[in-house]
């Protein structure tokens, strides 16, 4: 089973992604996590990625597609995966037609997301208020059209992400059956 999780930062994608991964026994992969690891490298590419994510911008599509395809060719992702944070642009979605079964949109308001992120204890280096606002803006501009793309394909499932973690998990499991 191939599942994509979409939502603004703070929507609960990694929480739900990890729970789903356990429940369905499918590996979880987050492009944000991959990029944060690459940003630690003391190379021009590492520094470029670090600056880009810290500013709340997107990594260019070509680079992102190259990295995602490199990962997904690994044996562990052969039978399926839960992908968090990709695709984030129409260009990425169009280049990545990989037999996706379901795209789960965890919907939370900008206000709720900002509220949740401001109270997070595992605060990340790219979590400045300015970067968070930029990422929310980037989501509306570049990622919302991706929802429409998958809606047309009939694979989009929309979930109210402002419920409890348990209720969200239950609803996801029901809707992907």
Instruction: Give, to the nearest 10 degrees, the angle between helix 13-24 and helix 165-175.
Output: 50
* Closer CB to ligand AMP, 26 or 38, in the complex: 38
> By CB under 6 A, how many residues form the interface with ligand AMP?
17
Q: How far apart are CA 177 and CA 174, in angstroms?
A: 6
* Closer CB to ligand AMP, 120 or 170, in the complex: 120
Residue 124 CA to its chain's centroid (Å)? 16
Contact window for ligand AMP (CB under 6 A) among 21-29, 40-48, 79-87, 148-156: 79-87
Question: What is the residue-wise DSSP string for 82-111?
Answer: EEES---SHHHHHH------EEEEEE--HH
Minimum CB distance to ligand AMP, residue 53 (Å): 4
- For ligand AMP, the binding residue among 6, 11, 29, 59 (CB under 6 A) is 59
* Binders of ligand AMP in range 133-172 (CB under 6 A): 135
* Binders of ligand AMP in range 14-43 (CB under 6 A): 31-32, 35
Q: Give the residue from 28, 25, 33 showing the smallest Cα distance to 4.
A: 28
């Amino acid at each position: 089973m191939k599942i994509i999780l979409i939502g603004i930062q703070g929507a609960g994608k990694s929480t739900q992604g990890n729970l789903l991964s356990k429940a369905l026994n499918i590996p979880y992969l987050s492009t944000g996590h991959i990029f944060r690891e690459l940003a630690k490298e003391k190379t021009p590419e590492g520094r470029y990625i670090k600056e880009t994510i810290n500013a709340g911008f997107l990594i260019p599509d070509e680079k992102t597609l190259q990295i995602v395809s490199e990962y997904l060719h690994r044996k562990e992702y052969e039978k399926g995966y839960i992908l968090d944070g990709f695709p984030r642009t129409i260009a990425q979605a169009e280049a990545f037609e990989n037999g996706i079964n379901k795209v789960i949109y965890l919907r939370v308001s900008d206000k709720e997301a900002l509220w949740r992120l401001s109270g997070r204890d595992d605060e990340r280096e790219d979590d400045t208020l300015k970067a968070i606002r930029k990422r929310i803006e980037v989501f509306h501009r570049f990622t919302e059209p991706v929802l429409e793309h998958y809606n047309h394909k009939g694979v989009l499932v929309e979930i109210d992400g402002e419920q409890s973690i348990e209720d969200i998990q239950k609803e996801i499991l029901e809707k992907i059956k």
